[in-house]
Amino acid sequence: GENVEQHPSTLSVQEGDSAVIKCTYSDSASNYFPWYKQELGKRPQLIIDIRSNVGEKKDQRIAVTLNKTAKHFSLHITETQPEDSAVYFCAARSSGGSYIPTFGRGTSLIVHP
């Protein structure tokens, strides 16, 4: 089955800095990669996603890049703000069979004012 590794587990940055979270996956059949933001005690919220026919996608301060050859994808947050502080989960989902995403272990992002 799919295995998703996510790094780092904790990331501390100053307000205004950029933050990068990296994930690798094992199943070459995976073709959909969502990112979720989860604040303490709240639901995982889909913030951006990318499909395997695209190398990069951007939405305001958030961007995701995908390297299918190397089987890794990254989340980039620019001009971080304190309200970006949360746990971020990457996930990978296969194109066939099960549509259940496999989640990474999460990255706790702390943005210091």
Partner 1 sequence: AAGVIQSPRHLIKEKRETATLKCYPIPRHDTVYWYQQGPGQDPQFLISFYEKMQSDKGSIPDRFSAQQFSDYHSELNMSSLELGDSALYFCASSLEGGTYEQYFGPGTRLTVT
Residues 71 to 110 in contact with partner 1, rule: CB under 8 A: 89, 93, 98-101, 103-106
* Strands 56-59, 62-67: pairing kind: antiparallel
Residue 42 interacts with partner 1 (CB under 8 A): yes or no: yes
- Sign of the alpha-carbon dihedral angle for 92, 67, 25, 75: negative
Which of 19, 24, 30, 34 binds partner 1 (CB under 8 A)? It is: 34
Residue 27 interacts with partner 1 (CB under 8 A): yes or no: no
- Dist. CA 55–CA 64, nearest whole Å: 8
Residue 1 interacts with partner 1 (CB under 8 A): yes or no: no
User: Contact 33/92 with Cβ under 8 angstroms?
Assistant: yes
CB of 80 to partner 1, least distance (A): 22
Residue 35 interacts with partner 1 (CB under 8 A): yes or no: no
Count of beta carbons in the 10 Å neighbourhood of residue 60: 9
**Which residues sit at the interface with partner 1, rule CB under 8 A?**
34, 36, 41-46, 49, 89, 93, 98-101, 103-106
